[in-house]
A and B are shown apart, each in its own frame.
Chain A
């Protein structure tokens, strides 16, 4: 019985390895072709104002249920690290794939505007829709983004004083 098990295991391993090698080769060719066809990601070149102009008025007026709540902002920071830093950078300062979220247009945007952009994405510009995160988690992200405003204005206020 042991011999048969070993034989079966060795055949199974061979099959799996062949499968993995075939898959790797096939997929490399396929994605290479896809990448060559698709436009290479450009430095984002987003205009925050243009993106915000798409937001319906009713959406802009929505209130953040967690506004000012530090616990929810911390949860939002965790979500930001998990889902957003890849494009917007570790400190939300932006990368070539996504704009800085510290810029004034973003920081001045209403919570409803941020929530709408998060939910609907900017699909043709490379930002996916994030409605797969439940609504409370999207508000937690907005709360975190709003908390950046407080941090970024603090030094200015201190300087002013």
Chain B
């Protein structure tokens, strides 16, 4: 795919809608073609992680979109798919594949990520720690903004895709996921430490924090789409904290995002988040939405495929 020259005008709304619909439909069909569904009680966070792992043997397929505004460049629609697998009750492994369309520019595959989350303690405690280790191989054109690190700022994305894709990053990302659940509330805090594997690059720091609560704490006896317990609402706060050479808040971007999740009895989960930039270095708006479904028995299927016994 070759990059076309960027213009400073966004493409017409109809054209965007067509493209968005194409992405969404294809990915939804891909997800649907997989195995039997399992019910899920998913959190509404898109950036922050709580301490809950994927159930053993289950596969969760997730598709997310981020529409971002861009000053000094073209708005963009970044998208990613997540395949999250519960290897055991204390180990979840995940693969991400990222892409983006910059309006009036081009559509790119921008990289992949491999992630592992390890639950450190057997029981529930007031604060529950989970270790998160991720390797990512992305191009400079990656715009999913799954986390905002170091001195990441809006102007980093103002160049054309043709220029941005020339940069290739191999990064190791470590997070300590701290999370607590009390009286229906979940509060989570994720300190983030990222190292570009190029030796000259310093460690970068970031944070993500979130709080959420279901609208109803008791389940109703009937299966229903609009029962309050199916909706979880909350807010996320995330941003960069500089790097090892220049730690702190100067030249960093930060976002506050109300979030909501709708866990449908048909085993689908919909998420919506609208992130507002909190300073001049941030994108003004990051509108995100996601759809996911959990499938049971995926581990057995893989084991059978490779000759294992059921």
| Residue ranges of A at the interface with B (Cβ–Cβ < 8 Å) | 1, 4-5, 8-9, 11-13, 15-20, 22-24, 26-28, 30-32, 34-36, 38, 40-41, 71-72, 74-76, 78-79, 82-83, 86, 97, 119-129, 131-137, 140
Whether B302 pairs with A35 at a CB distance below 8 angstroms is yes
**A-B pair number, CB within 8 angstroms:** 172
- Contact of A5 with B15 at beta-carbon distance under 8 Å, contacts A20-B81, A22-B112 already known: yes
Is B226 part of the binding interface, using a Cβ–Cβ cutoff of 8 Å? no
Q: Provided the pairs A71-B221, A75-B220 are in contact, do residues A126 and B88 lie with their beta carbons within 8 angstroms?
A: yes
Q: Choose, from B162-170, B211-219, B277-285, the stretch at the interface.
A: B211-219
Closest CB in chain A relative to B300 CB, distance in Å: 8
B1 touches A15 (CB 8 A): yes
Identify the interface centre among B39, B43, B119: most chain A CB within 10 Å of its CB: B39
Selected contact of B97 from candidates A22, A75, A97, CB within 8 Å: A22
A19 to B110, CA, bound (A): 10
Complex: A137 Cα to B181 Cα, angstroms = 14
The answer to whether A74 and B221 touch (CB under 8 A), given A16-B26, A35-B306, is: yes
- Docked Cα-Cα span, A103 to B52, in Å, equals 28
Indicate if the CB atoms of A75 and B219 lie closer than 8 Å: yes
B85 A34 Cβ-Cβ under 8 A:
yes
User: Can you spell out 5 A-B residue pairs with CB atoms less than 8 angstroms apart?
Assistant: A28-B302, A79-B219, A121-B124, A132-B41, A137-B217
Tell whether B70 is near chain A: CB-to-CB under 8 Å: no
Within 8 A of A (CB), among B55-102: 55-57, 59, 81, 83, 85-91, 93, 95, 97, 99, 101
List B contacts of A140 (CB < 8 A).
218-219
Contacts of A134 in B (CB 8 A): 184, 214, 217-218, 229
Smallest Cβ-Cβ distance to A74: which chain B residue: B221
A137→B230 CA distance, assembly (Å) = 12
Give every chain A residue within 8 A of B222 (Cβ-Cβ): 78
By a CB distance below 8 angstroms, the chain A residues around B85 are: 27, 31, 34
Can you name the residue of chain A whose Cβ is closest to the Cβ of B122?
A: A123
Q: Select from chain B the residue with minimum beta-carbon distance to A37.
A: B87
CA–CA, A20 and B19, complex, Å:
16
Which chain B positions have C-beta within 8 A of A9? 18-19, 22
Contacts of B86 in A (CB 8 A): 128
Contact A124 B95 (CB under 8 A): no
* CB pair B112 A13 closer than 8 Å: no
Do A132 and B181 form a contact, CB below 8 Å, given A12-B107, A126-B89? yes
Bound-state Cα–Cα, A86 to B220, Å = 21
Note all chain A residues with C-beta closer than 8 A to B140: none
Closest Cβ neighbor of B267 among chain A residues: A82
Q: How far apart are A23's CB and chain B's nearest CB, in angstroms?
A: 4
Smallest CB separation, A71 vs chain B (Å): 6
B56 A41 Cβ-Cβ under 8 A: yes
- Residue in B53, B218, B219 with the greatest tally of chain A CB atoms within 10 Å: B219
Do the beta carbons of A35 and B181 come within 8 Å of each other?
no
* Interchain CA distance A124-B121 in the complex, whole Å: 10
Tell me if A137 and B95 are in contact (CB < 8 A): no
Q: Which residue of A lies closest to B17 (CB)?
A: A5
